[in-house]
Amino acid sequence: MKPEEFTSFDDSEPIKNKWIIVTNNINAKNAYGEMSHVWLTTFWTHSPETQDFGIVSYDEAGRKIIGITHWKYP
């Protein structure tokens, strides 16, 4: 995956309930130089909580992912 493949939530929102890949750090890289901080999900929402930094989702263990900024279809 490359950052330029992602769309900002500020520019456009994906279709609800479709599989998407999301990130909360578009420039994060792992030790191999690949994108990190990415999750596959079908759920996202605008959080009413200010400390969540806007858009949130949940990982497979039910932990909240905050501050989601970008998305792409798989």
Q: What is the pLDDT along the chain (74 residues), one digit of tens a residue?
A: 999 999 999 999 999 999 999 999 999 999 999 999 999 999 999 999 988 899 999 998 999 999 999 999 99
User: So what's the pLDDT on residue 41?
Assistant: 96
User: So what's the pLDDT on residue 65?
Assistant: 96
User: So what's the pLDDT on residue 44?
Assistant: 96
pTM over 0.75: yes
Cα(58)–Cα(65) distance, integer angstroms: 5
